[in-house]
Structure 1
Amino acid sequence: MLGFLTARRAGLDDPLRLRRAESTRRVLNLKLNPDRDVDRIHGNGINSIDIETIEGRYMLSGGADGVIVIYDLENYSGKPQYTCKAVCTVGRSNRHVHKFSVETVLWYPYDTGMFVSSSFDKTMKVWDTETLKPAEVFEFESNIYNHHLSPIARKHSLIAVGTKNPKIQLCDLKSGSKIHVLQGHKAEVLSVRWSPRYEHILATASADSKVKVWDVRRASGSLFSLDQDNGDKSKSSSEAVNTAHNGRVNGLSFTSDGLFLLTTGTDDRMRLWNSATGENTLVNYGKVCNESRKGLQFTVSQGCSPEFVFVPCGSSVAVYVLHTGELVTMLRGHYNNVDCCKFHPDHQELYSGGKDGNILAWVPVLRASDMEEESDQKNKGAADSSAGNRALQDAWSSDED
């Protein structure tokens, strides 16, 4: 690491290379932090968590008990050991609380004054963070499995909603109404995701084994359906044409650049797709245990090289290299199945929630071998610094000549 610092100081290396190297090192050293706890508020399993991107300070959680909690992740104690406190809760005593399980919670992408929750009580609520009261309530005819807001949209304020009904609903935050329906799936829609690259592109996953990609500006059907066999009819049965998985597809996640789309299904497989062409990249992640009948929230790292995928796998979180499928490690600490996880790109930390009602913090821990390596690099760093200075002097001399 000292070598990267010296090269950056001397102008011999791209500053982004140092940042990526340190981010990667931190992700590879993720461990369950014994010094950091998260307040246990939920009396039942945790279905969804989200961290706002404005300050990277506040985290939302939604549970099977219908409760929503906002946590402050900052450490104000000045001590290594601290607890992330719940700053406010929409509990059972709140008259606006969801009656049944909260399946998804999401911060509004542009400020922390608003968040959105959806539930099996057939409602989606847009909350004012200051008052903890719904500013808008959307009612549906069936259970809601998932909703998503575009992280980059400037020309629309649509929320995509997946329900037990095969039709995907598009709700407009500005007008407070449902403005459009996307038809094409034949079973409940378990996951929906807007592209972080193009604000009108939406991906949807269903229990009919299909994943569809839509341009919501088009009045016609989807752009394409993902095909695990890449159009090779000899490999697919007549009943399974253009299917992404051989079971329910219950998880979607775009990479941070929007170039690739990850899907998970109850066939215990995870697949990586080219989001522009719909091509299956055929990366083999092996068996990825997936017993969830509902949506599964998994996450992708940001700023690393290579990128990593964190996916719930039973009572553990499996960490894979995105483009090779290599299993890096299994993060074990929950007492029951993990249903959701969220990567914090500001600090390269991971938070996971499970049916045990706990939210666990996984943070980079410097190992003894890393400390020895950094100690060994100090002498090398001095040599690198001299080399860097000589390179600069040579460059200046040539300029003067």
Structure 2
Amino acid sequence: METLGIYISVPFCRSKCSYCNFASGVFPESYQQRYVDRLLSDIREIGIQAAAMGVSLPRVVNSLYFGGGTPSILAPALLHELFAVLRSGFRFSADAEITMECAPGQLADDVLAGVVECGVNRFSFGVQSFVDREASSTGRLHNRATALCDIERVLAAGIRSVNADLIAGLPHQTAESWRESLEVLLASGVDHASVYMLEVDEDSRLGRELIERGSRYHAASVPSDDQTADFYLEAVEVLNRNGLTQYEISNFARPGTASIHNKKYWQRQPYVGFGLDAHSMLRADDGNPVRFRMGDDMQGFLNGSGFAEVQPVPRSEALEEAWFLGLRMNDGVALRDLVGEFGTVAICSHDSVLNELSSTGLLEINDGRVRLTDRGRLLSNEVFESFLVEKQNHLTELVTID
């Protein structure tokens, strides 16, 4: 039986991080009720919208993810409304993973009690750094003591799984301070960690400052790309050695605690997103994916704007997605599965790029599976772009599967 993942976008923040270019921000508190009302309407109508798009909407949910922004700053009454409508419109499996993102220091006692009552069983904390100077330099409002206190609180409340995010490459970060963050994370009791290398978007405040060589957001103290890569490689080695095993480029987990929801993205399983800039992927009757998303303008969303884009994915692009999403996982891509979905001829169209990436040490092919090497994970964007370039090189000869 096919199951569904649901993502709820809650774009409200108490401060905007300097590196962030997500559709989130510091909005008036009065927006929250209007925003949730729009979410409730969209949740109730998704079946009608799915039918109009000609896509299948599974009704059994095994993952629900509240992301943001900072979902935990919503009033408990609003969160209860959301859960009530979600549970009335979908059937949740007994072991459904229900995750809430939270910024340390922004989880009130009544919110924690309320979401536990509603069934939340996983928290993800945007710690980013356990070194106070690094956290504050990017606009985070917490310090190490606050982050550790919140982790202890949710564990004491019976939450079965807790993730902590770290970012390699923050302003003022050094080899010593990075090692300190890793050590504190390992001692904190979390069973999952996400480690990202800082990617500075030119439209973020930090990105604009790097271009303009300003000083307000500590751009001059951002480590070099080589230093950031070294931090990431050290995290892979340290976390793996201490029982948090890497299962995806940026994600590490103790046995049995890998994120069910995030794996849906990489394994191209159906999911539907509600809220500002939320993305969805459902399948048409012929099995081909259809991707759709909401716009990222808050006023437009509150005023009832519809989907910003609905895009059926051609078979050739679906194959590319299967490669670059599947390769994010340490298990890699099973060639037999790709042949079963796309056919032998289509898979063979990527032979040249597979051979090239294998010969340069970025991919390994063993026992019918294709995986990134350690170096390939470090250069994953270049690997994934190779599959897109390959499509352009073979545009006239790429076979369309019936």
Question: By the TM > 0.5 criterion, same fold?
Answer: no
Q: Which has the larger share of strand?
A: 1
Q: Which has the larger radius of gyration?
A: 1
Q: Whose helix proportion is higher, 1 or 2?
A: 2
